[in-house]
Amino acid sequence: MSYDHDHHHDHSELSETELRVRALETILTEKGYIEPAALDAIIQAYETKIGPHNGARVVAKAWTDPAFKTALLQDGSKAIGTLGHISRVGDHLVVVENTPERHNMVVCTLCSCYPWEMLGLPPVWYKAAPYRSRAVKDPRGVLADFGIALPKDVEIRVWDSTAETRFLVLPMRPAGTEGWSEEQLAELVTRDSMIGTGFPRTPGAPS
Which of positions 49-108 make contact with other proteins (CB under 8 A)? Answer: 49-50, 87-92, 94, 107
6 sits near other proteins (criterion: CB under 8 A) = yes
Interface region with other proteins, contact rule CB under 8 A, candidates 27-35, 58-66, 78-86, 176-184:
27-35
Query: Rounded to 5 degrees, what angle do the CA atoms 78, 98, 47 make?
Result: 55
- H or E element that contains 103: strand 102-107
Q: Is 116 exposed, middle or buried (0-12, 13-18, 19+ CB in 10 A)?
A: middle
Buried b (16+ CB within 10 A) or exposed e, 149-176: ebeeeeeeebbbbeeeebbbbbbebbee
The CB-of-71 to other proteins minimum distance in angstroms stands at 16
Considering only residues 110, 149, 183, 184, which one is a binding residue for other proteins as defined by CB under 8 A? 110
In the residue annotation, 113 being an active-site residue is answered as yes
Which one of 77, 87, 108, 161 is the catalytic residue? 108
The CB-of-199 to other proteins minimum distance in angstroms stands at 14
Which CA distances in Å does 3 have to 112, 113, 133?
18, 21, 20
Q: Which is nearer to other proteins, 42 or 202 (CB)?
A: 42
The CB-of-169 to other proteins minimum distance in angstroms stands at 13
Say how far apart CA 180 and CA 199 lie, in whole Å.
Answer: 18
37 sits near other proteins (criterion: CB under 8 A) = yes
Q: Which is nearer to other proteins, 30 or 178 (CB)?
A: 30
Q: What is the DSSP letter of 3?
A: H
Query: Beta strands 102-107 and 93-97: pairing type?
Result: unpaired
Which one of 2, 111, 133, 181 is the catalytic residue? 111
The CB-of-176 to other proteins minimum distance in angstroms stands at 26
Residue numbers annotated as active site? 108, 111-113
